[in-house]
Structure 1
Amino acid sequence: MEKKIYILAGGPPENVPDLAPYAEDKRAAWAGVDRGVLHLLKQGIIPEMAFGDFDSVNQEEWDWINRKLEHIRKFQPEKDETDMELALMWAISQDPDVIRIFGATGGRLDHAFTNVLLLVHEKALQFKGKIEMIDRQNLVEMFLPGTYTIEKMDAYPYVSFLPLTEEVEGIFLTGFKYPLENRHIVRGTTLCVSNELIRDFGTFSFSSGILMMVRSHD
């Protein structure tokens, strides 16, 4: 049976997708990060783990969290890692097949960029399962060199590939509206932005670098 861990961070609730379909997945364990714990409880989801300094909740909310949860890892605000990093490293250590992160984008740009860049943390890149960062409009994944097949998703029709390293070499795109054959792209260029799948499945591959895939809708 596939093992999944879903993490809700404390980003703006209006940027979080409807969690009800994910909550129905009985194979998934939930973790909350700081104010994300509160949002989970308000939706009737009891996380197995909670992480944070909880400086974003008031005393009444903190008391409620304490009553509802058994496993809380509370940290001092002054620390080297962000609450989200601590939660992600815990999730990776549980060796699931899939990690999905919600509530990690929107609001402050420094928080959003930091959370996205956690997907290229050494431990995240070495992780053998899948890590997805999802909000109401986007789904983000990171890839190391190789060949990958992706399925067309009506919810996210647009597919963009962005180089996270200085250069990504040997890109092939098959089954896309704008195919590519053995192209090199450098960081800061827009060649692979806003493509679309024209078949039920498409294939992409590349030979070096780190590639971020963003699947989006308008």
Structure 2
Amino acid sequence: MNLSMLCVNNNRAYIFTNHAPQDIVSHYKNIQRKDHLIAVDNGIRKIDELGLEPFVLIGDLDSIDPEMLEKYADIPFHQHPTEKNETDTELALDWCLKQKCYREIIICNDMQGRFDHALAIAINLLKIKSPRGERISYPVPYRIESENQSIFILPDSIEFNNCQGKLLSLIPLSEKVVFSWSQNLKYPLNDLVIRDYQSRGISNIITASSAGIIKTEGICLAVLEG
């Protein structure tokens, strides 16, 4: 594979897992020709159903339908042993990060399968480091998308636009998460500390078309629904 061809257009990467949903929050219809579709095992079937072309196939190939494997025998694939340390989705994410060229990485998963697998995919987001202190507008560049949820690591500063009425849940992944400021949330986060054993960040609501959060300490998983 020619890496220079891979990186020239600053593409988006869509990782289609075995549990790729019927659609995603940002919608499959918005996938562009220059974007790269990474198939994780039988995630290739969803790509095929959409009439799109997979860019690469990654996984142990233990769940892929033989007809899919035959149909796309000419695309590059990275086969891994069934017994390994990483899940297939983690291997696909690692591959995308190694390319160092994707402006967005979107993991397409309905989060409805095994709880341990779903949780592991969310934890895998910790591999991606957001720029510290830089204000980021939603949607963040690296995230999981189901049909009605976006899941991402909350940056230090984030602005939400056109998200009025959406549920926002914040889950600590470190011993504590400290917020200094928020705007247009039903439950303000100003000077709030959420400990890793607390669930008080669940089911907040964005109350206006524009909202914002500043986090000063800790690692936090965000789930935006609706």
Give me the TM-score of the superposition, normalised by structure 1.
Answer: 0.85
Query: Tell me, which stretches of 5 or more residues in structure 1 are unaligned?
Result: none
Residue identity opposite 1:108 in structure 2? R
Asked if 2 retains the 8 angstrom alpha-carbon contact of 1:6 and 1:31, the reply is yes
| 1:79 partner SS | coil
Is 134-143 or 188-197 further displaced after alignment?
188-197
What residue is the counterpart of 1:141 in the other structure?
A: 152
Q: CA RMSD in A?
A: 2.3
Asked if 1 retains the 8 angstrom alpha-carbon contact of 2:173 and 2:196, the reply is yes
Asked if 1 retains the 8 angstrom alpha-carbon contact of 2:175 and 2:195, the reply is yes
Cα shift at 1:161: 1.2
Distance 1:36 1:127, change over 3 A: farther
Which of these residues, 6, 9, 12, is aligned with residue 4 of structure 1? 12
Aligned residue pairs total: 209
Residue identity opposite 1:152 in structure 2? N
Cα shift at 1:60: 3.0
What residue is the counterpart of 1:208 in the other structure?
A: 217
After the TM superposition, which residues 41-190 of structure 1 pair with which residues of structure 2 at under 5 Å, given as runs? 41-66=48-73, 69-94=74-99, 95-103=101-109, 105-121=111-127, 124-125=128-129, 130-144=141-155, 146-153=156-163, 157-190=166-199
Distance 1:127 1:21, change over 3 A: farther
What residue is the counterpart of 2:6 in the other structure?
A: none
* 1:36 has 2:47 as partner: no
Asked if 2 retains the 8 angstrom alpha-carbon contact of 1:92 and 1:127, the reply is no
Cα shift at 1:173: 1.6
Distance 1:171 1:192, change over 3 A: farther
Cα shift at 1:115: 0.8
Asked if 2 retains the 8 angstrom alpha-carbon contact of 1:9 and 1:104, the reply is no
Query: What is the CA–CA distance in structure 2 between the aligned matches of 1:93 and 1:62, rounded to whole Å?
Result: 25
Query: What is the CA–CA distance in structure 2 between the aligned matches of 1:77 and 1:141, rounded to whole Å?
Result: 28
Query: What is the CA–CA distance in structure 2 between the aligned matches of 1:174 and 1:119, rounded to whole Å?
Result: 25
Q: Deviations over 1:173-213 (max 9, x none)?
A: 21212212111110131222211222221110111110111
Distance 1:91 1:105, change over 3 A: same
| 1:198 partner SS | coil
Query: Tell me, which stretches of 5 or more residues in structure 2 are unaligned?
Result: 1-8, 133-139
Distance 1:98 1:172, change over 3 A: same
Q: Percent identity?
A: 22
* 1:22 has 2:30 as partner: yes
Cα shift at 1:104: 5.9
Give me the TM-score of the superposition, normalised by structure 2.
Answer: 0.83
Asked if 2 retains the 8 angstrom alpha-carbon contact of 1:104 and 1:115, the reply is no
Distance 1:7 1:127, change over 3 A: farther
Asked if 2 retains the 8 angstrom alpha-carbon contact of 1:165 and 1:187, the reply is yes
| 2:186 partner SS | coil
Query: What is the CA–CA distance in structure 2 between the aligned matches of 1:174 and 1:127, rounded to whole Å?
Result: 21
